[in-house]
Amino acid sequence: MRHAIGMAAILAMSLLAAGPLAADGSLPLLVVTSARVSGNVLVIRGENFGSVAPYVTLGGVELSPVSRVSASEARATLPAGIAPGSYLLMVARRPARVPFYLFDVTIGAAGPAGPQGLKGDQGDKGEKGDKGNTGDKGDTGDTGPAGPQGPAGSGVACHDGDFLGCYEGAAGTRGVGVCRPGERTCQAGTLGACLGQVLPAAETCNLMDDDCNGLVDDGIDCTPVCTDGQTASCYSGPPGSNGIGACSAGTQTCQSGVFGACTGEVLPGLEVCNNVDDDCDGTVDEGLDCTPPDSRTPAVRLAAAIPALLSGGACLPQGQVGSLGTFGTGARYCVQNAGAGCNPGCRLSLGPDLIDVSEPAPGHLSVAVQMDVASPVGIQGKTIGIGFSCNVPMQVPGTRADVDVSYAFDAASGRYRVTAVDSVHDFVMADPNLGPSCGPLSDVPGFQEQFATSARNTVLGALTSGLVGVEF
């Protein structure tokens, strides 16, 4: 904090620089000619203060209130607690705060010496005076006694809290355009860096003198590229991606003669499972497994898998009953070439009519399947040495099997798998009666029984062996 000064405080000022005129040169130069302290009021006098109270700062702190007495006098209240020391005073015309006037100001006791001023012009040479008479040489005086040793110096260049105006820009730029001085503050006996100064910078199209050479927006082309409010399409994505998939152009709007940022454009992104071409390469959801997670119960999932399991049918291999010798009586069934690994044999179709799967306990499923078993059956036989052959259509509807299985989840495939058939507690298959279609068969003892047993074993074996290992 800076503390208040006394009624008899003095104010010392050194002129620093005058601020610039407005860009169009229409504003007269603001000038400060004097300043003094009266109580806690700083009285500032000069010229062209304007029609309202000027903007006044002391040491970077705005003074308030400030009153305008006239166009040549203003009065500002000093902040409570201001300490004696050196301050940077700025007076500027409102509302634009240009032109402005800057001072190094010392309040109270004299502060540290300011920087050396510029050397003045050499004065005119004076007239040569008359040569004076040579005086008599005086006697050499006696050597005086040595004086007492003085106190040791503090070695401190400044006192903490002191501050001094500063400017590190090129000569002639201080107070021109946007350039203005800053302050160095004393800490631990040393003046710190110059803070708050504004130095020359590259000129930009902003109606300001950025490089502080007295010219506004010089050396650059500030011709507007568009009309304010004008809009244009824009797109910053890779060439060829605009309008592909999710990608689309945005809009940019003209402000102060230049187009602003592109808003509303959609650029390529990472592909996700959404049936949209997110990366705008012309392909939807590529490189991803977008199969939705299966939320069905294990029972429902196995029931859905059984038709595919039975779609291949079952192979009833060739079999024989009795003798096919010269005077024998017997028959051979499934003599046709059924193909697909059933050669010779009968390829039985297993068309499911009803599938019911339930889960009586975790990890266990009860499977009930009702199906139609059908196949053409090729038969060759003899009765007392007399041969015969026939091709009999076989169809056994309503075949039913009830099977209990165990299952587990396979982490590798992310699916369930039947691990074992625990039991077959019911299997019903009607006898396939081939006799009426092939009359001589009735004379072959045991044919119907053996054929029916073989067919039942084939159907049940196809179902149970097919269930083990099936994934669902």
- Domain boundaries of the chain, sorted by first residue: 11-107, 224-292, 298-467
Q: How high is the pLDDT of residue 222? A: 81
Which band of pLDDT confidence, cut at 50, 70 and 90, is reported for residue 98? Answer: low
Phi, psi of 445 (to 5 degrees): -65, 140
Q: How high is the pLDDT of residue 161? A: 82
Judged against a pLDDT cut of 70, whether residue 322 lies above it is answered with yes
pLDDT tens-place string over residues 177-192: 999 999 999 998 898 9
Q: How high is the pLDDT of residue 157? A: 65
Q: Is 437 helix (H, G, I), strand (E, B) or coil?
A: helix
Strand order in the sheet with 182-187: 163-166, 182-187, 190-191
Judged against a pLDDT cut of 90, whether residue 324 lies above it is answered with yes
CA–CA distance, 451 with 430 (Å, rounded to integer): 12
Tell the CATH topology of 298-467. Bactericidal permeability-increasing protein; domain 1 (3.15.10)
Which band of pLDDT confidence, cut at 50, 70 and 90, is reported for residue 86? Answer: confident
Q: Which residue has the tokens 């006898």?
A: 431
Q: How high is the pLDDT of residue 155? A: 46
CA–CA distance, 37 with 6 (Å, rounded to integer): 10
Q: Which residues pair with 374 in a beta bridge?
A: 349, 395
Q: How far is CA 325 from CA 318, 379, 383, in A?
A: 18, 16, 10
Q: DSSP secondary-structure letter at 260?
A: -
Q: How high is the pLDDT of residue 274? A: 92
Mean pLDDT value across the chain: 84
Amino acid code (one letter) for 127: E
Which band of pLDDT confidence, cut at 50, 70 and 90, is reported for residue 2? Answer: very low
Which band of pLDDT confidence, cut at 50, 70 and 90, is reported for residue 81? Answer: confident
pLDDT tens-place string over residues 124-162: 666 776 666 666 666 666 766 765 664 554 444 688 888
Q: How high is the pLDDT of residue 417? A: 96
Q: How high is the pLDDT of residue 13? A: 36
Select the more confidently predicted residue: 298 or 16.
298
Over pLDDT 90: what percentage of the chain?
51
Question: What CATH number has the domain spanning 11-107?
Answer: 2.60.40.10
Which band of pLDDT confidence, cut at 50, 70 and 90, is reported for residue 268? Answer: very high
Judged against a pLDDT cut of 50, whether residue 9 lies above it is answered with no
In terms of C-beta density within 10 A (0-12 exposed, 13-18 middle, 19 or more buried), how is residue 434 classed? buried
Strand order in the sheet with 61-62: 11-18, 100-107, 85-92, 55-58, 61-62
Mean pLDDT across 264-292: 93
Between 171-175, 239-243, 437-441, 461-465, the lowest mean confidence (pLDDT) is in 437-441
Q: How high is the pLDDT of residue 460? A: 95
Mean pLDDT across 38-62: 84
Q: Is 378 helix (H, G, I), strand (E, B) or coil?
A: strand
Mean pLDDT across 424-438: 87
Judged against a pLDDT cut of 50, whether residue 105 lies above it is answered with yes
Among 197, 142, 138, CA closest to 173 = 197
Q: Which two structure tokens, joined as six digits, stand for 471?
A: 């994934």
Among 82, 101, 102, 99, CA closest to 37 = 82
Q: What is the largest CA-CA distance in the chain?
A: 184
| Alpha-carbon torsion, ordered 274, 275, 281, 286, to 10 deg | 80
